[in-house]
Amino acid sequence: MDLDVLAAAGLYDATAPDAAKRAELLEFLNEQGCSVDEMVAADARGRLFALAGDRIVRPDRDRFTLAEVAEQIDAPVADVRALWRAFGLVEADRTQPVASPTDVDMMRTAVTMASLLGLDTTRGMARVMGSAMARVGDAASTAVRGQLPSMSVAISGSELETARSFAGVATAVPALGRTLDALFRHHLEAARMHFERTESWEVVGEGGIRVGVGFADLCGFTGLTQQLSMDSLSQLLSGFEEVAADVVQDHDGRLVKFIGDAVMFVAPDASIAVAVAEALVLAAAIRGLTARAGVTAGTALALDGDYFGPVVNLAARLVALAEPGTVLVSEPVVERLAGSRTVVALGPQTIRGFDDPVPVSRLAPVG
């Protein structure tokens, strides 16, 4: 390592108070195979300490502008920018390179999808993918920092120590990428089978699908947030999400999303949705918590990994009406159960967002 070359590049100042520590960091980066140009670029980003890990996470970063990407894949630059943004990625300055060769391949795939499915549909998928990966990234970063405080320079007090920690953790990223690929294939197959099992795939066109829809939430959660520490609250929510995911999957439902202390799920038919709802309420009770649920059935719009429409809105409203430990159901659910379960009619209820009173029933406990 030639300190004179690094000094000329603005990376090292022998007269600086921290010159010795900076020299140690530069020596480590040099041992990791980092070039002077990479160091200069990382220093400009304020992430020289992270370079050894960053170059593993995103090799050959920032080599092409989006205009150059569009030229390479023979696509309109406006489409490339729209898809890049939909993925949740940033192009702060159009003259600055932001993409790697791998990103070029990614955008080529996205543009090909757009030619088959349409730009708007592909942008919708890109938003879902970007959002999902952002959450995975947040979860991974939070977990690592929680277990390895040295990942933070503010905590370690040493750029070199943090650089070594980050470089070590980053070696797992390629394997994590392969894991995500395998998981995507599993979940893609499961989603296809879910749609095949619903009452009709040809459903009412344009993404409409007949499903059972349910929401369940924890009762008294707002009060718990005032009483519990952040760590206890985190454990409570994580435990609820884990149990809810297991219950929904074990009953052949599809977990759509978590909304704070609530979970939304769908199922191929009303009876499965009811079974999921009751299992969620029971699972909460076993753990000393109280939950409630609402279930509806009908045609919903399946879009971008979520479900929309009056049938979904009604399920969400039923939860607010339900007493702790109970499951409320709509009239179509009662009809589909066809007498297989005892229900208690509560009569027409005035529900926000619905012009006319809506007939609602409560499931009687089994046994």
Output the pLDDT for position 202. 46
pTM, to two decimals: 0.70
- Residue 147 falls inside a structural domain: no
pLDDT band at 348 (very low <50, low <70, confident <90, very high): very high
Domain-located, residue 293: yes
In a domain, 214, yes or no: yes
**How many angstroms separate the CA atoms of 215 and 213, rounded?**
7
131-160 pLDDT, tens digit per residue, is 999 989 988 888 887 788 887 787 877 888
Domain of residue 305: give its range.
Answer: 200-363
Residue 150 falls inside a structural domain: no
323-340 average pLDDT score: 93
Strand partners, 21: none
Judge whether 286 lies within some domain.
yes
Taking the C-alpha atoms of residue 77 and residue 67, their distance in angstroms, rounded to an integer, is: 6
Domains: count for the chain:
1
Q: Give 24-61 pLDDT, tens digit per residue.
A: 999 999 999 999 999 999 999 889 999 999 999 999 98
Q: Does residue 189 lie within any of the structural domains?
A: no
267 belongs to a structural domain: yes
Tell me the residue ranges of DSSP E strands in the chain.
Answer: 208-218, 254-259, 262-267, 291-303, 306-308, 327-330, 343-349, 358-363
Residue 350 lies in a domain: yes
In angstroms, the CA 350 to CA 355 distance is 8
pLDDT per position as a tens digit, 86-109: 999 999 889 999 999 999 999 999
Residue among 204, 329, 318 nearest 271 (CA): 329
Confidence of residue 366 (pLDDT cuts 50, 70, 90): low
Q: Indicate which CATH number applies to the domain containing 351.
A: 3.30.70.1230
Q: How confident is the model at residue 226 (pLDDT cuts 50, 70, 90)?
A: low
What letters, b where the CB count within 10 A reaches 16 and e where it falls short, cover 116-144? eeebeebbbbbbebbeeeeeeeeeeeeee
How confident is the model at residue 335, as a pLDDT? 93
Instruction: Specify the pLDDT at position 23.
Output: 92
pLDDT digit string, tens, across residues 244-283: 888 998 888 889 998 878 899 999 889 999 999 999 999 8
d(CA 222, CA 48): 43
